[in-house]
Amino acid sequence: MAWTFNRPLYSLSSEDQNKEAQHVWEHESLGGIAENNNPLPRPVIGLLILTYFTAMALTFPLYGQRPSAAIYADYVSLMNSTMVQEVMNDKSITHDQANSRAMAMIEDSLQHFDSPYTFQRAQHPIDLDQLRVIAPQIVELQHAGVDLEEYTVVGPTVAKANFFNLQPDGTVVAKQPWWDKGYTIAVWWFIIFCAAVIITVKRLPHFSWRPDHTIAH
C-alpha cells in the first residue's frame, strides 16, 4: 500500500503496485465484463465544474435565508392605507377577489420606489391573508423601535432571528451574515468529493496503459 508523490497527477501508486493492479485487471474475468482504462472525458469534467459553480452562484443568496420582518414593513403600511382598506372591505366582490385586487395595488405601489429588499420580496412572496396575520406583530415591533432585520417570519409568527453575530465592540447582531455556514459546508463537501475521486483514480494504473482483454476473456 505504498504511496508515491513523485508524479501525483500521473500516479499515486508505486511501480510494483501498478504492475500488480495491471495483472489483476488482465487476468480476472470480472464476470465476463471487459473493463477498459480510459480517462474521464474532459468535456464531462468541464461540465461538472460548470454545473457546480453555476449552482453555487445561483443559490449563493439563498443559503439559510429566511424572510426578515423588514421585507414586509412596507406591505403592512400600504395594507393599512385607506385605498387598500376600501378594496379589502368591499362587500360587492368575493374575499379572494378583494385579496387579489388589494395585493395587486400593494405590489404596484412597491414598484414605484427602490428598496433594498426587492430581491428578498421576489424570493419570499406573500399573500394578503398571510400579511393580515403578521401585520400586527410587525406594527408592534415598529412601535418598540427594534431593528426589523433582526426578526424573521416563520409561518404565522414573527420571531427573533436565530443568528449570533458577535461584533468587535461586544454587541450581538441577530442578522444573517453575507456568508452562510451552509455555503461553507457545500464548498468543503465539493472539495473533499473531488479530492477523494482524484486520489482513487490516481491509485489505479495510468490511462496510457491499455489492458489486454484476450488474456481472461
- The string of pLDDT tens digits covering residues 141-161 is 999 999 999 999 998 999 998
Checking if the pLDDT of 181 tops 80, the result is no
DSSP state of 13: B
Tell me the C-alpha distance between 111 and 124, whole Å.
Answer: 16
Q: Does the predicted TM-score (pTM) go above 0.75?
A: no
Distance, CA of 13 to CA of 21 (rounded, Å): 10
Looking up cell 433582526 gives 150
CA atoms of 165 and 176, how far apart (whole Å): 8
pLDDT of residue 94: 93
